[in-house]
Chains A and B, each alone.
Chain A
Amino acid sequence: MVEFQNVSLTLGEKQILNDLSFKIDEGQIVLLTGNSGEGKSTILKLILGLLRPTSGKITVLGQDISRLNNKELMKIRQQCGIVFQGGALFDSLSVEENVSFFLKEALHVDPAEARKRVLEILEYLGLKDYLDYYPAQLSGGMKKRVAIARAIVTHPKLLLYDEPTAGLDAQSATRVVDLIKDLQQRLNVTSLVVSHELYYFVRVMDKMIHLQQGRITSEQINNAELMALHEKNFLGHFTKG
């Protein structure tokens, strides 16, 4: 589904990623962790072709995106969905307009069909009563769910999440994590989650990639290790709290 082969990225004089290689298989939930400024969100931008690697090869949905032109990249992007850290909802549009925005603007779906799809998704996410609300009227957790609705309404094959639990209380964060798992099971969507809040994701992820100074320091954890990590982080989370 996604493969990085010896990818390096230098922006200005700063080396962000250094000879990075990893692979995400179809239907997996992969967690990308690391400290702030390690280039986690940059990886999402590279996958979408918003940034070009300095060297190396990036394959997304079977295509080497480092060689694609803008028009071809658009086709790849339309098969991907992304949930930004702050939601990135359009302030001047209502929940319904936000969710249907890309259906109408990018995919030119018929308005009646778009509305049907939006209503279905908002009902599934428990947001049907908030159709006419504006982003400023929603809580942090609701904004994240609207952002997820906007990302999945186009029926993407690959979903990218940038810090989906950041700034949320434990209950809302758990709801978002459950939703990510549910989407994987229902739609077989491949998910790449960028987060440093390991304790929320350890029970749902299939694989974890840890990034440090632009390099992968650990990858692929087996079940026993995952569970040990889960317990350690679960307890750590509460003792910290």
Chain B
Amino acid sequence: MTTLKMYLGKFFDDFRISYMIRETIARIKFAVRVITSMNSALRYRNETLYQFYIMGIQALFLVILATSFTSMVMAFEYGKKLEPFGAKLLLGRIMSISIVREIGPIVTGLMLAGRTGAKIVSEIGNMVLSEQTDALCAFGLDPVKRLIVPRVFASIAVMLPLTIIADAVGIMAGWYASVHWIGLDSEFFWLSMRGGLLVKDLTIGLIKPPFYGLIIGLVSSYYGYTIRGGAEGMGRAATQTVVFASLGVLFIDFLLTRIVLSLY
């Protein structure tokens, strides 16, 4: 009964308006501090490049697999639904537009939210818990500039090349599924794709990834930097990072799509 009361108390504490306002202000302050210190990415360029390389390499295989499977499933589903209407010749067009505008960026974003988000929160969190960030402060270095900015910058920069790779791999996987499983002629697939894919689609698809990278970097480094409570705190921070970074990616996707579509 006492435990139940304790958890209920904590639940209502977490949803107190004053607590939520305080937390939101803390997050905004942190984001502003990181963004205004972004020039440190150049100062610590070796660390930034190292993070870019590690994040890219670690996420590459995951992104390739995830986009391949999603695209093949999409080709299979669209192909089966379009076949009765004799419209499967449109598969190349539909697939390429969907992949370039939405599937490539969003799958890459969600994979990075999990993979890179967990990496950043565990690294920064571990450094906070083992007083390494205090050591940096004590010797006159700013942990935000030295540790967080290179990671956030790398997370932004890595999104674009990964999305381009994801798009290319997704289209190839879609082509493979369309030709081998749906029985579409290979030539028709490419013709349909070339006829349908516009510069506008590429712009919409490539404008979003850096923002996904920013939100993943900020969310994960915030939870890492404000970690409390040892191993239990680490688990909580990792879960919060994956949940909020994924939600952040989906929200940014919705927001930017609305803005870009209203402008075009």
A77 CB within 8 Å of chain B? yes
Q: Please name all residues of chain A whose beta carbon is closer than 8 Å to the beta carbon of B132 when the two chains form the complex.
A: 88-91
A50 touches B137 (CB 8 A): yes
| Chain B 110-153 interface mask (CB, 8 Å, partner A; 1/0) | 00000000000000001000111011011111000010000000
A84 touches B131 (CB 8 A): yes
Q: Please name all residues of chain A whose beta carbon is closer than 8 Å to the beta carbon of B146 when the two chains form the complex.
A: 105
Among A82, A85, A88, A106, find the residue whose CB has the most chain B CB atoms closer than 10 A: A88
B139 touches A85 (CB 8 A): no
Q: Please name all residues of chain B whose beta carbon is closer than 8 Å to the beta carbon of A90 when the two chains form the complex.
A: 132, 135
Q: Please name all residues of chain B whose beta carbon is closer than 8 Å to the beta carbon of A31 when the two chains form the complex.
A: none
A102 CB within 8 Å of chain B? yes
**Interface size class, chain A:** 20 to 34
A80 CB within 8 Å of chain B? yes
A191 CB within 8 Å of chain B? no
Known contacts: A85-B131, A86-B130. The answer to whether A102 contacts B139 by CB under 8 A is yes
Q: Tell me the bound Cα distance from A95 to B137 in angstroms.
A: 20
**Interface size class, chain B:** 10 to 19
Identify B139's interface contact among A45, A77, A86, A89, CB under 8 A: A77
B42 to chain A, nearest CB (A): 15
Interface SS of chain B: helix
Q: What residue in chain B is nearest A79 (Cβ atoms)?
A: B140
B100 to chain A, nearest CB (A): 37
A94 CB within 8 Å of chain B? no
Q: Please name all residues of chain B whose beta carbon is closer than 8 Å to the beta carbon of A106 when the two chains form the complex.
A: 139-141
Among B130, B131, B139, find the residue whose CB has the most chain A CB atoms closer than 10 A: B139
Q: Please name all residues of chain A whose beta carbon is closer than 8 Å to the beta carbon of B131 when the two chains form the complex.
A: 84-86, 88
Q: What residue in chain B is nearest A78 (Cβ atoms)?
A: B140
Q: Please name all residues of chain B whose beta carbon is closer than 8 Å to the beta carbon of A105 when the two chains form the complex.
A: 139, 141, 146
Q: Tell me the bound Cα distance from A45 to B137 in angstroms.
A: 10
Given pairs A78-B140, A88-B132, 11 additional interface contacts (CB within 8 A): A48-B137, A50-B138, A77-B140, A78-B139, A84-B135, A88-B135, A91-B130, A105-B139, A105-B141, A105-B146, A106-B141
A-B contact pairs, 13 of them (CB 8 A): A45-B134, A48-B138, A82-B135, A82-B139, A84-B135, A88-B131, A88-B132, A89-B132, A90-B135, A91-B126, A105-B141, A105-B146, A106-B139
Chain B contact residues, CB within 8 Å of chain A: 126, 130-132, 134-135, 137-141, 146
Chain A contact residues, CB within 8 Å of chain B: 45, 48, 50, 74-75, 77-78, 80, 82, 84-86, 88-91, 102, 105-106, 154
